[in-house]
Structure 1
Amino acid sequence: MHTAHYQFWPARLPKHLTLPETTLYENLVISSKKYPNKTAIHYYGKTLKYQQLADEVEQLAGYLEAELGVKKNDKLLLFMQNSPQFLISFFAILRLQAVVIPANPMSTIDDLAFYVNDCGVRHALTGQELYDKAAPLKETTSLETIIVASYVSYIDKEKAIGDLPPEVKNPPESFPEDVIWEEALAKTSKPSSYRGTKEDVVMIPYTSGTTGLPKGCVHTNNTIQANTFGASYWMNMTADTVTLTTLPLFHVTGLLHTALAPIAAGSSMVMLTRWDRNYAARAIETYGCSHWINISTMLIDFLAIPDLEDYDISSLDVIGGGGSPLPEAVGEQLYKRTGLRYVEGYGLSETISHTHFNPPDRPKMQCLGIPSFDVDARVIDPSTGEEVTLNEEGELIVNGPQVFKGYHNRDEDNKKAHIDLDGKTFFRTGDIVKRDDEGYFFLVDRLKRMINAAGFKVWPTEVESILYKHPSIQQACVVSAPDEKRGETVKAFVIPESDAAESLTANDIIEWSKRQMAAYKYPRIVEFRDSFPTTSSGKILWRELQKDN
């Protein structure tokens, strides 16, 4: 295990973290006993106290057990956007020692059918705007019952501080074939005694399927607690922390950093169902948000608010995220505006968010950070499995308490995804990184995304990072394009800054790029776009752009 990074470890934090043997559900119970009348969630003008949150979890769990027969290890589909109902559903499932299968709200019917069939799901909880995707599964899969939630039930339109998303203000609809949320909570059945343990499987998030069929990542209370408390301590969360919850909760980063860690700390969440940069700015000002974990595309959009200077966002103490490296130029803009350095991290569904964090007081730009509590991270040659030297590119492998228990029903994939080294079993991330002499890790790119231009390796993330330095480029995404002579060549999709949309040309960018990067790296093709396809967590869907070539 490499230890060079210990010299930059956050002050007053231990290097080893002893994990509690309590469960995720018990985190909520403990916080509700400590802070019963404290606001857990601010949601479009309405607040939900910790005791209310715990009570509604108990009510829903009672219904699931008494009326639907949900028992330990049953798998339930959770198909909602950010809302109080999402978290109530999440903890109610855990209350029964059952397993959450979170689904992306952008999932298609076929996507959902895959999850349902893979896990034998019989019951789902969904937002009413997503019901039409879930309902057909009752005819073709094992799905039997759907509990339907209307987000408007948990808001106060008069006290909301900005425009409401359509799915939040839509009135409740009728679903005669299924169960309305309020009907489920109205039942008075009490669930049986809780007997959860740290080894219980509690959640199976699915990978995005970028390298084949989606794979379910099996996580226990213990693997998730490792990062729940790791994030809370690393980011100095207390009961007085106020977290801006804008990342989608179905995604491991959003769930872990902007819901589970705050709940463990007994702090408050300001929750948005849909990203709205102006609502976010008002929320920071109104509620004094201190912590905001986001994704780079979200921050880029936030900093592009024309009248951002008119908002008081001085309450922010910690701002950071992951998913993709933050362009250096954007990081500098954030620093000039707030005096804060962006704290990047790195992780995967398989590691329930982070394995690496930048030290908050000594972050590096465009850097994954250093290994988190008790994480052993190495860089290997993906072909030989041998460790590479400092500053040499290779595949990142990790061993730590947050690493999943394996892929659900995927024995062959599990064998391929792990490697033994020095008596330990490591997870192979598939990400190409390099480690500097201070123990910081830097992402080069996904192993599958490399462009082979006339025999030269070109990593799109590196080219994108340089393009972001162009003063007229707001966003950039680099992909490969076929080339008769080079085999593959570099193509850049660009969203220009609004004031340059009419004047900026493809040749301007190409000529500028020639002066900024090696001859084999600069884009030969530039295509302008008004927007990019993204996941609901804000990641640019580069494969969709790749298809357009």
Structure 2
Amino acid sequence: MSLANAAPVAVHVQPRPHHRFWPKRLPHRISPPVTSLWHNLVVSAQRYPDKPALVFFDQQLSYRELQAQAERLAGHLHAQGVRAGDRVVLLMQNCPQWIVAHYAILRANAVVVPVNPMNRAEELKHYITDPDVKVAVCAADLAGDLLKANADLPEAQRLSHLVVAHYHDAIGPQADIPPAWVDWLAKRHPLPALPGGSVADWADALASSHTAPVHDRQPADLCVLPYTSGTTGLPKGCMHTHASIMHNAVACSLWTGGTPENVSLVVVPMFHITGMVVGMHAGIYTGATLVIMPRWDRELAGRQISAWRVTHWSNIPTMVIDLLASPRFDQYDLSSLVFIGGGGAAMPQAVAQRLFDQFSLRYAEGYGLTETAAPSHNNPPDAPKQQCLGIPFLSTDARVVDPETLQEMPVGEAGEIIIRGPSVFAGYWKRPDATEAAFIEFNGEKYFRSGDLGKVDEDGYFFITDRLKRMINASGFKVWPAEVEALMFRHPAIAEACVISTKDAYRGESVKAVVVLRDSARGQTSEQDILDWCRENMAVYKCPRVVQFVDALPKSGSGKVMWRLLQEQEPAA
């Protein structure tokens, strides 16, 4: 599928305050390759055929082998009826097969539909019917839910073919697997049946003698359709082209000082736009070695960084907090790291300071959305500010405007962040109404409305204040939960906190904090202790009126705190 209006956006970069902090080694905008994403793998395989592309526990897959497996799977998919522009579901945790399948779908001139493996059958129906999928590639442990979803659909909308993979097929006998994962990773599931269709085991699909079609994708062709949830309705597919993903793959490599000698820890889920673009596509473009973790485990992460001398680690701040809290942390060697950064939540200042004091690492926070192919903003690695989104990314322009009048806000005043650049998506799949609502004209140019509230300081750095819909209105005072959470994290007993609104007969809404205490503080710190501390450390209207202790905060597959779930559960509480 070609998107005629999705040609690369030429953003003329006017001098802005943040340019004083711009990495001196980089231009303000780049001209990425005008080839498909598949071509990135071909080039790296030609340059570094025997170099490890993927590491999974005790096994390695070279660039030559990665390309060959993707070619064979592409031939199998083509033989099963996958044609140019067709959408193919990809449903797995992080593993080598996920990357092979992703590039195989691209090689077959088709479109990847990456799906969160935490979704259950009722949710999975939408990912079959909305993108009109007929073929899926999934992990064996997830096939049951996918087939259950498929069986509940009208016959005309059902899958016609399924490729099933087992994680343990990519693991060797010396694998250092966390004990809790042994049964999950080692279990062999029988090959399921697909009524009215066919099923292939991964090994049989790769043994296919079918030839892949001629690869003909151009920059404006659709390549991936990741889904994003909004404040209302079902998830919407974000139409990304080879050009939009290519831009940020190249830009992320340049921004982080990428070289073919990079060794990256890929633990952010690759179904998520950050893991896909920053973890996988940037690494394959660079010719790096990707050390893959199927899920987060702090001890495994510590061992992997130490053993493989990991140089680059993009993550969710909660992962860093967890690793630093490990009782075995002194056994791990992080001295090889030259870049560490991430997004999804603010990095607590105390944790960022520890990284710098102990390892001379400056944690570089970034910001982006599924609609912007991950980063639209990033902190300059040499001049980051803490708890800050950073500055507009390569080739990107961003502003803060009044959500109602769409007039640009003065320095320091909050408004909605709007974004323009070559990585911005082409629109929402089958949703012209939502696409139209997502864009505005500003200074004669088309900008994407992020739905996030932020502000810009005098240096041109952007700071989040909150989601447009998340504000708490307490007796007319506007309370931004992210700000209260950042303040609460300074309390020595608090490990994590999520702030939501609770009904208040007098104030309309009041502030509630759902708190996870540090192990050392459990039984020693009371809810009243937290309330008293808050009253001493923040404006009274921001202070939580209610504190609830929990053992853990709910998190999404990408590691973000699911504040909406807590908010929805609050009336019952």
Instruction: Tell me if the contact between 1:138 and 1:144 (Cα under 8 Å) persists in the aligned partners.
Output: no
In structure 1, distance between residues paired with 2:487 and 2:182: 35
C-alpha contact 2:50 2:62 (8 A) present in aligned 1: yes
Residue 406 of structure 2 corresponds to which residue in structure 1?
A: 385
Equivalent of 1:146 in 148, 156, 162: 162
Instruction: State the Cα distance separating 1:2 from its structure 2 match.
Output: 5.8
Partner of 2:361: 340
Shift of 1:160: 3.1
> 2:388 touches 2:462 (CA, 8 Å); kept in 1?
yes
Amino acid at match of 1:118: D
Residue number in structure 2 paired with 1:522: 543
Question: Structure 1 residue 190: deviation in Å?
Answer: 1.4
Match of 1:167 among 184, 197, 211: 184
| Preserved CA contact (<8 Å) 1:97 1:200 | no
Q: CA deviation at 1:333?
A: 2.5
Residues 1:155 and 2:167 aligned together: no
Aligned to 2:559: 538
Query: How far did 1:509 drift?
Result: 0.6
Which residue, 287, 308, 317 being the options, matches 1:296? 317
CA contact (8 A) 2:306 2:333 kept: yes
1:123 maps to 135
Instruction: Extract unaligned runs of 5+ from structure 1.
Output: none
TM-score, with structure 2 as normaliser: 0.94
| CA positional deviation for 1:212 | 2.8
Contact 1:71 1:96 in 2 (8 A): yes
Partner of 2:492: helix, strand, or coil?
coil
Task: Give me the whole-angstrom Cα distance separating, in 1, the residues matched to 2:133 and 2:392.
Answer: 36
1:162 Cα deviation from its structure 2 partner: 5.1
Q: Secondary structure at the match of 1:76?
A: strand
Looking at structure 1, the residues matched to 206 and 223 of structure 2 have their Cα atoms a distance apart, in angstroms, of 22
Query: Does the 8 A contact of 2:309 with 2:336 survive in 1?
Result: yes
Q: CA deviation at 1:60?
A: 0.2
Aligned residues: 548
User: SS of 2:150's equivalent?
Assistant: helix
How much has 1:532 moved relative to structure 2?
A: 1.1
1:148 maps to a residue whose letter is V
Give the secondary-structure state (helix, strand or coil) at the position aligned to 1:191: coil
Alignment of 1:20-31 (within 5 A): 20-31=33-44
SS of 2:318 mapped into structure 1: helix
Which of 132, 138, 147 is the matching residue for 2:144?
132
The reply on whether 1:207 has 2:228 as its aligned counterpart is: yes
SS at match of 1:135: helix
Out of 75, 78, 100, the position equivalent to 1:88 is 100
Question: Distance between the aligned counterparts of 1:545 and 1:268, measured in 2?
Answer: 38
CA distance in 1, matches of 2:113, 2:91: 8
1:360-404 residue CA offsets vs partner (Å, 9 max, x unmatched): 000000000000111110100001111110111000000000000
Residue ranges of structure 2 left out of the alignment (5+ in a row)? 1-13
Query: Which amino acid is 1:477 matched to?
Result: C
Do 2:141 and 2:189's aligned partners in 1 also have CA atoms closer than 8 Å? no
Amino acid aligned to 2:68: D
Confirm or deny that 1:57 pairs with 2:70: yes
C-alpha contact 1:60 1:89 (8 A) present in aligned 2: yes
Instruction: Give me the whole-angstrom Cα distance separating, in 2, the residues matched to 1:44 and 1:196.
Output: 34
Please say which of residues 411-420 and 2-11 is displaced more in the overlay.
Answer: 2-11
Q: Which amino acid aligns with 1:147?
A: V
Quote the Cα distance in structure 2 between the aligned partners of 1:75 and 1:162. 35
Look up the equivalent residue of 2:440 and give its one-letter code: I
Q: Distance in 2 between matches of 1:208 and 1:303?
A: 31
State the shift of 1:107 in Å. Answer: 1.0
Conservation of the 8 A alpha-carbon contact between 1:45 and 1:161: no
Which residue of the other structure, out of 110, 113, 122, is the alignment partner of 2:125? 113
Q: Which residue of 2 aligns with 1:270?
A: 291
1:198 aligns with 2:198: no
> What corresponds to 2:206 in structure 1?
185
Matched, 1:432 2:465: no
Deviation string, structure 1 residues 44-81 (Cα, Å, up to 9, x no partner): 11000000000000000000112x11110101111111
SS at match of 1:465: helix
Give the conservation status (yes or no) of the 8 Å contact 1:481–1:490. yes
Question: Given residue 498 of structure 2, which amino acid in structure 1 is its aligned partner?
Answer: C
1:114 Cα deviation from its structure 2 partner: 0.9
Secondary structure (helix, strand or coil) at the match of 2:130 reads helix
**Is the 8 Å Cα contact of residues 370 and 439 (structure 1) preserved in structure 2?**
yes
1:400 aligns with 2:430: no
For 1:127, give the aligned amino acid. A
- Deviation of 1:152 after TM superposition, in Å, equals 0.3
**Is the counterpart of residue 13 in structure 1 residue 34 in structure 2?**
no
Cα distance per residue 1:71-94 (max 9 Å; x no partner): 101011111110111011101110
SS of equivalent to 1:129: helix
Q: Secondary structure at the match of 1:412?
A: helix
Distance (Å, rounded) in 2 between the aligned partners of 1:138 and 1:213: 18
Q: How does 1:394-543 map to 2 (within 5 A)?
A: 394-543=415-564
Matched-pair contact (CA < 8 Å) for 1:168–1:273? no
Corresponding residue for residue 43 of structure 1: 56
- Out of 313, 335, 338, the position equivalent to 2:334 is 313
TM-score (norm 1): 0.98
Residue in structure 2 matched with residue 34 of structure 1 by the alignment: 47
CA distance in 2, matches of 1:470, 1:165: 37
In 1: Cα distance, 2:462 partner to 2:330 partner: 34
2:67 counterpart letter in structure 1: A
Distance 2:204 2:464 in 1: 49
Aligned counterparts of 1:384 and 1:475: Cα–Cα separation in 2 = 36
Deviations 1:387-440 (A, max 9, x none): 110111000000000000000111111111110011110000000000011110
- Among all aligned residue pairs of Structure 1 and Structure 2, give the percentage whose two residues are the same amino acid: 43
- What is the match of residue 103 of structure 1? 115
Aligned mates of 1:271, 1:165 — CA distance in 2 = 17
Give the Cα separation in 2 of the matches to 1:86 and 1:484: 51
Secondary structure, counterpart of 1:94 in structure 2: helix
Match in the other structure for 1:281 = 302
- Once superposed, what is the RMSD of the aligned Cα atoms? 1.2
Amino acid at match of 1:38: K
Q: CA deviation at 1:211?
A: 3.5
Q: Distance in 1 between matches of 2:450 and 2:456?
A: 15
1:448 alignment partner, SS class: coil
Question: What does residue range 180-259 of structure 1 map to in structure 2 within 5 Å?
Answer: 180-259=201-280
Give, in whole Å, the separation in 2 of the partners of 1:161 and 1:543.
33
**Partner Cα distance (2:350, 2:186) in 1:** 37
How many Å separate the matches in 2 of 1:263 and 1:282?
23
| Secondary structure, aligned partner of 1:499 | helix
Query: What is the 5 A alignment of 1:321-340?
Result: 321-340=342-361
Larger mean Cα displacement after TM superposition, 108-117 or 369-378: 108-117
The letter of the residue matching 1:489 is S
Distance 1:313 1:165 in 2: 26
CA distance in 2, matches of 1:165, 1:478: 36
Give distance in 1, aligned partners of 2:319 and 2:230: 23
Match of 1:363 in 2: 384
Distance 1:16-1:38 versus aligned 2 partners, 3 A rule: same
Which shifted more, 207-216 or 239-248?
207-216
The verdict on how the C-alpha distance between 1:165 and 1:543 changes in structure 2, with shifts beyond 3 A counting, is farther
